[in-house]
A and B are shown apart, each in its own frame.
Chain A
């Protein structure tokens, strides 16, 4: 059981910030993903929560108690790393029991706790093995078991799946999420992989350049990214972002394309752009559909089969490529002229000067 509050928490090295002052409340039982490219400050944030890294400003509260200057061992948090950090000279059983023995727990009680986590993670058959003999996925299960057995107030996980191959990562992702659903333990999970953050997080904290860019549910960060960074970073491929000029109720895009702004956006754009003409039109690949009389036109740059669907890459003007997701049968030769439409519900606009999203609701 744990609520974690960060109040203006920061990490500075001289003049340079590793993490700019950050406010965040992680609710009891919540799974929060800290997401961003390497060097964005996500791991430093996690390490400050754990106490492995000292803050240079701000406060950290655990269940309302200030733990900012408490030793890591006094915070009752369990850390799971990308590298398994198991003791190679101990058996799997000894590795898992270790934190409980260190607490001085009686062996009958240890046995009971051990059995519980072993069942959850289905690693009963591995108990006698040495960690070094195990496959990567099993090693990570053992590391999870060792964290779980302590019943800590919260779990802190730093890219725990980073070292696994794609297939195993996918199945372990579901296992960790299942574990979370079963135990409902507060979890802070660091990753650079937006797929992982989307799939696992109740909320996602998107970070870049030492700063929080957006905090929101997967639906929020996907459909309503706060700025150009989030729009680009979330999604594979990311949101299509095309610079243009607003005039006469339409966005003039590079080349000959003009996109008539849906009426619902007129007021928001007038306010959000403060009268300037420059605007960025954004739309997700699935918001575009090839249509014979579509409003926009381009030339097929490449067409990819992805198994369940096709992605069309369309050159709308001098190497300005947009990505359109289509059905499997939608495959076109390179150079084919195509027209396409955008779902008016799914277009977004950004102010290129501030890089912020123009908010429709703000103008209502």
Chain B
């Protein structure tokens, strides 16, 4: 397994610039996620790393060696797509064995058997080995597709939204298994998704892409706790972060049209800016400093989303369990002062000195 480095990659299509000066690198054993909305350039990046697409500028290095002129096969990467791309008339066993039987490898059959059975066990599909893939459910097919990638022990795994065709329960289960597998195998993985939960839960590090550029690169903690822009702040976290226009007045921060004011932080703030508060940092308290009216409750079981109105302002609060608050009720709440986010009118994070 390997270290991968992308240096100043740009890619233009006739009508659109897909990637603009994208640079990042990831290490041996790392689970690296590209997160972004449709059209951000995630899949283009993945295809360039695979060698399925040629970049216009920049270079890709594998363990320090440029691989730009190598074919996909020579790069020794394994792909897992959203579509399973299995051979429907073959058994699961033959599908798993297929990459090992390729003329490039010519693995002896007894060795293939050992490898296939090992992979099947890891993915809990041993009982399916004799079935034809056409008879499998979506979740089973995706397990086989992942099995086919791990069986040949490639230098690098490239995964393009492999879980997005599965239903919610299955996606949840497979997400956990995939992460466990990756960590215990120590395989190097570049994983593309538009789903912020997949990115936060699985990644060692995340690169957030938007309109062909990297907006932020960091650990899930960095991305969630210190989003670099309002775009990132809104992309991760559900329900969405509360973002509201605010102004500085002497020692306080005033939120417009709401009567909401919090002590100003110890950092330089411009006259007007955006204040961000994650819903879990808006906490109902009997003796809280602020008051608001409950306009809507969304009980999700493990937690409840409260929609609060303060004058013209709508504020979301996320509270544990099935909250007792009712629509129309006036409640009091506090805001976690240390967890406030500030963004300039250019939408960039305003950080305290030294952060």
Contact = CB atoms under 8 A, between A and B. Distances in A.
B327 interface: yes
A291 interface: no
B321 interface: yes
A101 interface: no
A117 to B, nearest CB: 19
B4 to A, nearest CB: 23
Interface stretch (B107-115, B125-133, B155-163, B177-185): B177-185
B271 interface: no
Interface in B156-179: 167-169, 172, 175-176, 179
Interface of B is mostly: mixed
A302 B179 contact: yes
A308 B237 contact: yes
A206 B16 CA distance: 47
Given A237-B172, A304-B176, A307-B236, A334 B184 contact: yes
A131 B220 CA distance: 39
B320 A286 contact: yes
Contacts of A319: 124
Interface string B183-226: 11000000000010100111000000000000000001100100
Contacts of A302: 176, 179-180, 183
Contact of A305 (B124, B224, B298, B327): B224
B182 to A, nearest CB: 10
A308 B296 contact: no
Contact of B321 (A166, A167, A195, A286): A286
B66 interface: no
A352 B241 CA distance: 42
Most buried by A among B195, B322, B327: B322
B124 to A, nearest CB: 7
A193 interface: yes
Most buried by B among A223, A301, A302, A313: A302
A174 B302 CA distance: 18
A305 B302 contact: no
Most buried by A among B183, B224, B295, B301: B301
A301 B180 contact: yes
Nearest to B320: A286
A173 B318 contact: no
B172 A236 contact: yes
B301 A308 contact: no
A325 interface: yes
A219 interface: yes
A114 interface: no
A38 B184 CA distance: 35
Interface residues of A, number: 43
B278 interface: yes
Contacts of A193: 168
Interface string B282-320: 000000000000011011111001010000000000101
Contacts of A166: 195, 238
Interface string A264-305: 000000000000000000001110000000000000011011
A218 interface: yes
A304 B201 contact: yes
A234 interface: yes
Nearest to A222: B301
Nearest to A178: B296
A302 B299 CA distance: 27
A286 B200 CA distance: 20
Interface in A187-207: 192-195, 198-200
Most buried by B among A167, A234, A307: A307
Interface in B212-262: 220-221, 224, 236-240
A286 B300 CA distance: 13
B153 interface: no
A37 B183 contact: no
Contacts of B195: 166
A163 interface: no
Contacts of A233: 169
A306 B239 contact: no
Most buried by B among A198, A284, A308, A319: A308
A170 B238 contact: yes
Contact of B301 (A234, A306, A311): A234
Interface string A304-332: 11111001010000010100010000000
A285 B169 CA distance: 15
Given A232-B169, A302-B183, 17 more contacts: A170-B240, A174-B296, A181-B327, A195-B300, A199-B298, A234-B301, A284-B301, A286-B320, A301-B176, A302-B179, A306-B200, A307-B238, A308-B280, A311-B201, A319-B124, A334-B180, A334-B183
Interface of B: 124, 167-169, 172, 175-176, 179-180, 183-184, 195, 197, 200-202, 220-221, 224, 236-240, 278-280, 295-296, 298-302, 305, 307, 318, 320-322, 327
**Smallest CB-CB A-B distances: 7 pairs:** A199-B298, A304-B201, A222-B301, A308-B280, A218-B299, A302-B180, A305-B220
14 contacts: A37-B167, A166-B195, A166-B238, A181-B296, A193-B168, A219-B299, A222-B299, A235-B302, A236-B168, A302-B183, A307-B200, A307-B236, A313-B176, A313-B180
